[in-house]
């Protein structure tokens, strides 16, 4: 074997291992960063197709069907696969370093989040290549247009399933970040000293935590409608309005989810480049925490002013929407006030930050227009709305995040970007942006999502201006790509803290901690020019660099590039910080979703089984890793946390259960909404067997008692009682599932089969109890793991937080049934 080629293969292999199996926050940050830019590229191509189609009236470049897909996927990809993940990428990279943490609290969960995000995005993109095309009902996926009847085919199913994966990924991420920010701050990093970017990421994660579960619920119901034929959104008893309510309960907070990270970036950049402290820091934080975050859940109905909701509801939500503009007013004035009497250095990051503020002012003020439910009668569904939210989402959010990219690029790459190109990038972006979106404010009578328009409508000139602006804006982004690539390849070496910033990520104290040494020190040492993580992830670089003897660190493996040849070198935690399970779960998700989407064909079911098999194999592997302590970093515990702190670990479970409460809150809320809309509902006892249901309720509640016994036993150090408690819990869970199964079986074989497609009562019953049953099943699987670990002697008086956390979960599932039982059996 040719030694050189063999070596190359080995390096390639290591390179693949690093990026597939990494759980290190900076690596995952870079994966998010690069992947989100790719999705941004796809979304931009779709945007240019849209603008080209609308450049002349009566254009036939895109068929109406293709146009609808382009519009739909442009929105979904840009908001959910580009904007938020770009922010999450920066957050992954910089939140731990800003607060002096070695990594995120749960590194493998973080990796899993990335792979689910990518899996979802690939599924959504795959939809374009399916017969019948991709989702085409707008990013809002209004029912019943998004149903199997009006959007048939595997494409939309892929897109919606992809959205579920994304939403799950984001939910996992929010648990992880909140836990990290709550407990992994370095000593002395008090909340009052915490950097603004981290603060705003915390706000963002809190918003995600409460908003995305509703999206998950809504999408699960939509998938049930599409795949097994339930009637949540297809019935004429309020199906369309139910989707509106659920979607916008997610959709409005989502606006702030997109916006707040950019505000965090701007709040970092402004003081640094003005040479002053951030003005009114406490006001900014207070306004966001006390008004923006909570109130964002109380304004969603302003998206529904003309859906036929009653007048007083419109008035209330109009006022709440106005109130939410007040904190933004304070924030913007504080931002501007920061510059007053400063010494403003107009470097590229600052230009983008200022651009972000300026464009947000326009986006925000037009938002006040839209809060008027009377004006909204005309604005709703027109280009005025399109202009408004692009000023917020592109203007404020993307300009801010691009500012963040320039700001942190020297930190991520160790090199400086080209300032002149950066400035040209900004100027062209700013001009292109305004030329693109400002004309749309005057297209008040042109409905959105029109695939074409007649020449006599009077919309041609404004549309052409917008199209010209779109191409200028798109071409300007070549500046960004040029700067990213050329900085990584050949930018001059950056000083450790080029901007004179005061936040922790620039002073890099992380080097004191073994877990996070590595590439930072390497770069700081000045000799590790090739070890830039960004370089390793970008498909660039000349061949001789890739095989050079001292260039191992380029590829992320080996320690040859370390000054002094330290073995803890570049990829400090190397193998023990890697796990193949997250990417394997991502694969399981892709294959399962493929199977679900293709169920209409004969091979759908086998593919779904294959996905299930990979999932089972991965979960077993993950459990075995834990049983054998293979993933040796104590997740969350790190080095500094003694075991008696494990009580705090419960916080993670509580945060997770919060998302579960929102998931089931949305589902039970939907039940109540449907009950309020349908004229007919079966009387108690007429379909469901009340004594049997009651028995099952008692079985499940008893299992809560056995869990209490188990938890108390191990708190006393009694392993045998723990084992007995866990086994009883498992058996009671199995009995519950058995009774449930027999109930379903009987209902299916009633004279008038009460099956999935037997009407709204059946839809709601099977969906709700089915999802609850899935939770019981998941709990039983965890019980099996705990039993195995108990048999291995894995729990002790001091170390048993897995049991404690399982206890919380199991109680939650039981309490849930206490709500479900009366709703379906008794009333």
- Footprint of another protein on residues 50-79 (CB under 8 A)? 63-65, 68, 71
Task: State the nearest-atom distance from the C-beta of 456 to another protein, in Å.
Answer: 10
700: tokens are 């499940």
Task: State the nearest-atom distance from the C-beta of 586 to another protein, in Å.
Answer: 32
Cα separation values, 806 from 649, 657, 706, 748, Å: 12, 11, 12, 33
Task: State the nearest-atom distance from the C-beta of 681 to another protein, in Å.
Answer: 16
| Interface with another protein (CB under 8 A), residue from 17, 52, 122, 280 | 280
Q: How far apart are CA 659 and CA 167, in angstroms?
A: 11
Restricting to residues 380-409, which ones interact with another protein according to CB under 8 A?
Answer: 380-382
C-beta closer to another protein: residue 147 or 157: 147
| Interface with another protein (CB under 8 A), residue from 449, 568, 712, 788 | 449
C-beta closer to another protein: residue 344 or 721: 344
Bridge partner residues of 415 (DSSP): 493
51: tokens are 């603008």
Task: State the nearest-atom distance from the C-beta of 307 to another protein, in Å.
Answer: 5
| Interface with another protein (CB under 8 A), residue from 6, 61, 282, 742 | 282
| Interface with another protein (CB under 8 A), residue from 183, 450, 471, 748 | 450
Restricting to residues 146-165, which ones interact with another protein according to CB under 8 A?
Answer: 150
C-beta closer to another protein: residue 35 or 288: 288
Q: Is 578 helix (H, G, I), strand (E, B) or coil?
A: strand
C-beta closer to another protein: residue 68 or 505: 68
Task: Report if residue 463 touches another protein, rule: CB under 8 A.
Answer: no
Task: State the nearest-atom distance from the C-beta of 749 to another protein, in Å.
Answer: 31
C-beta closer to another protein: residue 365 or 818: 365
Q: Among 38-46, 84-92, 333-341, 662-670, which window interacts with another protein (CB under 8 A)?
A: 333-341
**Binding flags for another protein, 350-369, as an x/- string (CB under 8 A):** ----x--xx--xx--xx-xx
CA dihedral 210, 215, 221, 226 (to 10 degrees): -170
The string of DSSP letters for 372-393 reads -TTHHHHHTTBHHHHHHHHIII
Q: Are 177 and 113 in contact, with CB atoms under 8 Å apart?
A: no
C-beta closer to another protein: residue 760 or 762: 760
| Interface with another protein (CB under 8 A), residue from 445, 576, 716, 798 | 445
Task: State the nearest-atom distance from the C-beta of 354 to another protein, in Å.
Answer: 6
Q: How far apart are CA 141 and CA 676, in angstroms?
A: 23
The string of DSSP letters for 600-652 reads TSTTHHHHHHHHHHHHHHHHHHHHHHHHTT-S-S-TTTTTT--GGGGGGGHHH
Task: State the nearest-atom distance from the C-beta of 184 to another protein, in Å.
Answer: 25
Which residue bears the tokens 């994304």? Answer: 166
CA dihedral 314, 315, 319, 320 (to 10 degrees): -40
Q: Is 195 helix (H, G, I), strand (E, B) or coil?
A: coil
Restricting to residues 299-318, which ones interact with another protein according to CB under 8 A?
Answer: 306-308, 311, 315, 318
Half-sphere exposure of 801 (CA within 13 A, CB side): 17
Residue 123, H or E segment: helix 107-126
Q: Is 699 helix (H, G, I), strand (E, B) or coil?
A: helix
Task: State the nearest-atom distance from the C-beta of 47 to another protein, in Å.
Answer: 17
| Interface with another protein (CB under 8 A), residue from 35, 97, 137, 805 | 137
Restricting to residues 231-260, which ones interact with another protein according to CB under 8 A?
Answer: 235-241
Q: Are 193 and 503 in contact, with CB atoms under 8 Å apart?
A: no
370: tokens are 């839209």
10: tokens are 């080995």
132 phi, psi to nearest 5 deg: 90, -10
593: tokens are 């979703």
Task: Report if residue 320 touches another protein, rule: CB under 8 A.
Answer: no
* Size of residue set near another protein by CB under 8 A: 81
C-beta closer to another protein: residue 454 or 526: 454
C-beta closer to another protein: residue 275 or 526: 275
Q: How far apart are CA 263 and CA 277, in angstroms?
A: 16
Task: State the nearest-atom distance from the C-beta of 350 to another protein, in Å.
Answer: 9
**Binding flags for another protein, 808-827, as an x/- string (CB under 8 A):** --------------------
Q: How far apart are CA 319 and CA 315, in angstroms?
A: 6
Task: State the nearest-atom distance from the C-beta of 382 to another protein, in Å.
Answer: 7
Task: Report if residue 333 touches another protein, rule: CB under 8 A.
Answer: yes
Cis peptide before 144 (omega within 30 of 0): yes
Q: How far apart are CA 544 and CA 120, in angstroms?
A: 36
Cα separation values, 416 from 235, 497, 498, Å: 58, 11, 9
| Interface with another protein (CB under 8 A), residue from 172, 215, 332, 596 | 332
């Amino acid at each position: 074997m040719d030694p050189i080629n063999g070596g190359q293969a080995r390096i390639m292999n290591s390179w693949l291992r690093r990026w597939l199996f990494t759980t290190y926050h900076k690596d995952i940050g870079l994966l998010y960063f690069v992947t989100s830019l790719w999705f941004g590229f796809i979304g931009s191509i779709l945007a240019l197709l849209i603008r080209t189609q609308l450049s002349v009236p009566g254009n036939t470049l895109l068929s109406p069907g293709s146009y609808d897909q382009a519009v739909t996927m442009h929105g979904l990809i840009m908001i959910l696969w580009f904007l938020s993940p770009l922010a999450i990428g920066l957050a992954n990279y910089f939140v731990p370093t800003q607060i002096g943490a070695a990594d995120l609290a749960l590194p493998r969960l973080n990796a899993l989040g990335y792979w689910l995000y990518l899996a979802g995005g690939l599924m959504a993109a795959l939809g374009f290549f399916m017969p019948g095309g991709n989702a085409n009902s707008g990013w809002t996926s209004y029912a019943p247009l998004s149903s199997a009847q009006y959007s048939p085919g595997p494409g939309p199913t892929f897109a919606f399933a992809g959205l579920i994966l994304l939403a799950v990924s984001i939910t996992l991420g929010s648990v992880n970040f909140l836990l990290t920010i709550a407990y992994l701050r370095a000593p002395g990093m008090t909340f009052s000293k915490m950097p603004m970017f981290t603060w705003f990421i915390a706000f963002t994660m809190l918003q995600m935590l409460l908003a995305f579960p509703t999206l998950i619920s809504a999408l699960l119901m939509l998938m049930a409608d599409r795949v097994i034929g339930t009637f949540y959104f297809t019935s004429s008893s309020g199906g369309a309005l139910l989707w509106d309510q659920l979607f916008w309960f997610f959709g409005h907070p989502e606006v702030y989810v997109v916006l707040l990270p950019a505000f965090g970036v701007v709040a970092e950049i402004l003081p640094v480049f003005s040479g002053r402290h951030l003005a009114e820091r406490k006001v900014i934080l207070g306004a966001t925490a006390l008004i923006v975050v909570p109130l964002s859940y109380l304004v969603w109905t302003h998206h529904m002013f003309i859906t036929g909701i009653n007048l007083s509801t419109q008035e209330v939500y109009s006022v709440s929407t106005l109130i939410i503009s007040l904190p933004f007013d304070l924030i913007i004035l504080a931002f501007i006030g920061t510059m007053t009497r400063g010494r403003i250095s107009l470097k590229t990051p600052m230009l983008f930050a200022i651009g972000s503020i300026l464009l947000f002012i326009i986006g925000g003020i037009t938002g006040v227009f839209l809060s008027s439910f009377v004006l909204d009668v005309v604005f709703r569904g027109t280009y005025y709305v399109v202009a408004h939210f692009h000023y917020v989402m592109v203007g404020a959010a993307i300009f801010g995040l691009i500012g963040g990219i320039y700001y942190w690029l020297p930190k991520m790459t160790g090199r400086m970007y080209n300032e002149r190109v950066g400035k040209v990038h900004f100027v062209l972006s700013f001009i292109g942006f305004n030329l693109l979106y400002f004309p749309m404010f005057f297209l008040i009578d042109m409905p959105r999502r029109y695939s074409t328009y007649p020449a006599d409508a009077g919309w041609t000139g404004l549309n052409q201006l917008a199209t010209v602006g779109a191409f200028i804006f798109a071409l300007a982004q070549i500046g960004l790509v040029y700067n990213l690539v050329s900085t990584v390849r050949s930018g001059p070496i950056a000083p450790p803290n080029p901007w004179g910033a005061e936040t922790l990520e620039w002073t890099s104290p992380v080097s004191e901690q073994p877990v996070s040494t590595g590439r930072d020190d390497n770069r700081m040492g000045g000799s590790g020019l090739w070890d830039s993580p960004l370089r390793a992830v970008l498909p660039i670089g000349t061949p001789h660099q890739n095989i050079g003897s001292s260039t191992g660190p380029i590829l992320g493996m080996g320690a040859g590039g370390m000054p002094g040849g330290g073995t803890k070198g570049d990829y400090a935690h190397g193998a023990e910080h890697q796990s193949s399970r997250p990417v394997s779960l991502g694969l399981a998700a892709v294959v399962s979703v493929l199977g679900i989407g293709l169920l209409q064909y004969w091979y759908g079911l086998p593919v779904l089984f294959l996905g299930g098999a990979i999932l089972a194999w991965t979960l077993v592997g993950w459990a075995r890793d834990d049983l054998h302590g293979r993933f040796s970093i104590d997740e969350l515990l790190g080095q500094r946390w003694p075991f008696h702190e494990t009580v705090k670990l419960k916080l993670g479970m509580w945060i997770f259960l919060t998302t579960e409460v929102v998931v089931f809150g949305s589902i039970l809320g939907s039940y109540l909404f449907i009950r309020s809309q349908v004229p007919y509902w079966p009387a108690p006892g007429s379909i469901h067997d009340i004594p049997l249901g009651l028995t099952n309720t008692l079985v499940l509640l008893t299992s809560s008692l056995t869990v209490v016994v188990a938890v108390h036993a191990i708190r006393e150090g009694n392993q045998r009682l723990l084992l007995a408690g866990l086994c009883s819990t498992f058996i009671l869970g199995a009995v519950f599932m058995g009774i449930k199964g027999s109930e379903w079986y009987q209902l299916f074989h009633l004279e008038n089969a009460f099956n999935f497609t037997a009407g709204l009562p059946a839809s709601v019953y099977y969906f709700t109890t089915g999802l609850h049953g899935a939770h019981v099943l998941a709990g039983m699987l965890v019980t099996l793991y705990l039993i195995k670990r108990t048999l291995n002697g894995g729990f002790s008086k001091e170390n048993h937080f897995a049991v404690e956390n399982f206890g919380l979960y199991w109680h939650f599932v039981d309490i849930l049934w206490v709500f479900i039982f009366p709703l379906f059996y008794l009333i």
